[in-house]
Structure 1
Amino acid sequence: MKIRLPDTVLSALRRMLSALRPFALSLGRALVTSVGAEPLLGTSRRRWLRALPYAIALALNAALIPTGIVNLHTLYKLTLPTAAALVVAQTVPLILAVTRPLAVWWVVLPVSVAEAVLTAHAPQAAGPWPWPVTTLLGYLFLMLALALRESGRTLFAVWLVTTLATAWEGAAFTRAGDAGGPLPIVLSGAVLVLGWSLRGRGEARRLLAEQEQISEAERGRRTLLEERARIARELHDVVAHHMSVITVQADSAPYRISGLPPEAAEEFGTIAAAARGSLAEMRRLLGVLRSEESAPDRTPQPGLDRLPELVDTVAQAGVRAELSIAEEVGALGELPQAVGVSTYRIVQEALANVVRHAPGAEVWVSVAAEDDTLRITVVNAAPAGGNDRAGVESPEGTGHGLVGMRERVRLLGGRLDTGPLPDGGFRVAAVLPVNQPEEHRT
């Protein structure tokens, strides 16, 4: 059965559509600004919580579409196509409300107002008006989605527009004073306040968790600084003290010991110079450990050009070392600073290990270049007195030398191969890329 609306109703409907034109323009802006928004509960770690809003929206569609069509057709006397169009236009967009509730509200509200106009002359016994039960349930879900997403000012504007639309419907038609009029105003306001409160509570908990993480990071940073300061004090109290004693004794030996041969005096001078150099490096290290924001050290870092000096130094400690640098290394041009420093430190640590664990052994150091890589090899023979000869390093040594080598090589994206030889010697071989990948540049 078709219903022919009176002229007064048609006139009121035209006025309503004219008044809704600004809302249509705002709809486009809302659709654009809400694209790509985070779904409701999308940041939850639990999958079922992230899927819950979609499940509720699909359940509402499954329940409200058939019951709403039957309700409008049988009770409110609308034609089946009109009832179906109104219900689908109000219910299906609820799926999009999970990510774009404000845009969906701009669609649902005009359709709900149009539905109220079309059902204004239905019998009062048909049900509540201007918000049928099925329409109200879907609208309350939309209010909850808005409350969990939008600001308080937007929520108040939504509730105010809902109130004005409901009041206008009640005043424009003969069913003014219907018991169903105030109900959506009260329920929508309550849902908006409840959802806004829940969102505020969740936001407060999130901020509290972030603050706890920041505090934990600050505690870890403070612990690290305290540990660095403790190490600096220990180094100063123990190592630097002993190095100072060695320097003083080596410098004063020629004056305290009479009849000292010139070779011995020169040896004492070498020892004092090495001790002073160690003290200078120790002071720079202490400066770094004592202050996180200490000024950067501007002393030039050692590189390949310092290897001959390094080999000569260990030779004075009784280690016969030979250095070989291939001509291809010079063809590489100026090496990156990280590669040069790492090469020097790897050779330095390998030679130091020979002095500690294989005193008197012969050592061969070679540096070659192949395919844009620098190949460093340090091979030592067995100790001069056999494997039973005690080294300088005590058995309680930390053994961090090889670990430090591996860390340097790993940071540069290279390879390190270490291990004993059948004849009782030891081999250290490192391959460092000259053209480092971006992630390994320092």
Structure 2
Amino acid sequence: MHPLLSKTTIALIVSGLAQGAAQAALFAVEPGPYLPATGGFASWYQDTHGRTLDLCLTKAVSPNIAGAPGAPAYMCLLTPNPGIFDDTKPIVFPDNFPDEAFWFTGDGSIVDVARGIDLTYVSALEAAFSGGDPKEGDQISFGRIRIRVDVPTAGTYVITHPYGVDVFKVDTPGRKAINMTRDIGIGSPKTYDGALKSDIGPFLRSLSGPYTVTTGTATEQFVGDPNVEEAFTGSPFNTNYIRIEGPNGLDLRTNVMAISGKLSTVVRPTPIVAERSTYSRKAGTSEPVAQQDVFMLAPPPPATVTLDSNSPVLKLTEADTTGHWYAQSSTNPTLPKTLDVTADNHLAIATSSPTTVHPQLTDLVVISKAEYNLTTSMLTIDASTSDETSPTVLTATIATGTGTGTPISDLIGEGAAKSLETKISPIPPARVQVTSSNGGTDIEDVVLVQ
């Protein structure tokens, strides 16, 4: 179902927009040590919605559909491979172990014979081996998005799915005219944190689940059944569907997918990620008028997220079960200011304990102009701070891939908006960063002009 490390062949991708690719929607992975029972792989991944999924290696069978003789309807995707893995025998690493296994899968399709559309969609968090066959030291993991579509007409196609939007320009229609595989996280063998940066997460789950399956004395729970296509939820963008739009008014969608994932019994704290904590203030009639804006990523309701450092304590508001939370306070902060924000998900996951993070409150810095004149070698930067009342210093540096690099100079100006014009040679900087003495920062690509 998921061939290992297949090449990406794309019919001219105009843009691959995994919306919010930096969403950090996978939160944590087992740090090790990695045991033979899981083939030397990390035993679990946790997403920002608080769910932790084990590497799915159980032979529990579906409570929803009967398997065919010799082909049980497993709740985990355990595909036999002659000479490599015999699913009728115990799973033992490396002698009888799947050459690919999964922490999560979400697969769907759209077929419209009349319109000539045949679409398959794969999302997965996969365990595999760099050499193909099970071997100690070759273990890798990655998040995969795969889109394959037969299309009858040249043109631009937009495919919206639970983990983003991808746009393709097809010049040669036909079978697999759209053929894209995006694998993120492979990295070095037995290093599993790369997949945390993939498009996968939070984990999708069936609206009919979780499913409880008892096999002998073992009772296990699953977020979905890979043998059944069902309505689902969990998209970080609230796009709980697959949709294709294209030439001649083409607009097809499906709201069902086949989901797999085994819920872990590992006890984990409530995940929470600070996305942004900024303030603004300006002069008022008697005192400054202030506004604090706090953005967090945490499990959706019934979880709660509170800004404990505010008086009174503020409850953050969540957006459409996506796990994005927001609160606004009119308290005028005394700087430097560290916030206390707590997420509590015990109503959804009884073993989940509250987690408090302490993001720094900073001003919001915006670079409105970053321009380099190739003729004069002059760099011009215009930037502003959201703090109009403090004597804020804005400092420009050349930005590098690892953060700020060579200092340039302080920007000049009396108010919140400040400017800099300075000569830099022999080459222009690719990007500049402006940092505020109140903690805010912004990075911008430099525009080159003659």
TM-score by length of structure 1 reads 0.19
Structure that is richer in helix per residue: 1
Which one has the bigger strand percentage?
2
Q: With the length of structure 2 as denominator, give the TM-score of the two structures.
A: 0.19
Structure with max Cα Rg: 1
- Higher RCO structure, 1 or 2 (CA under 8 Å, sep 6+): 2
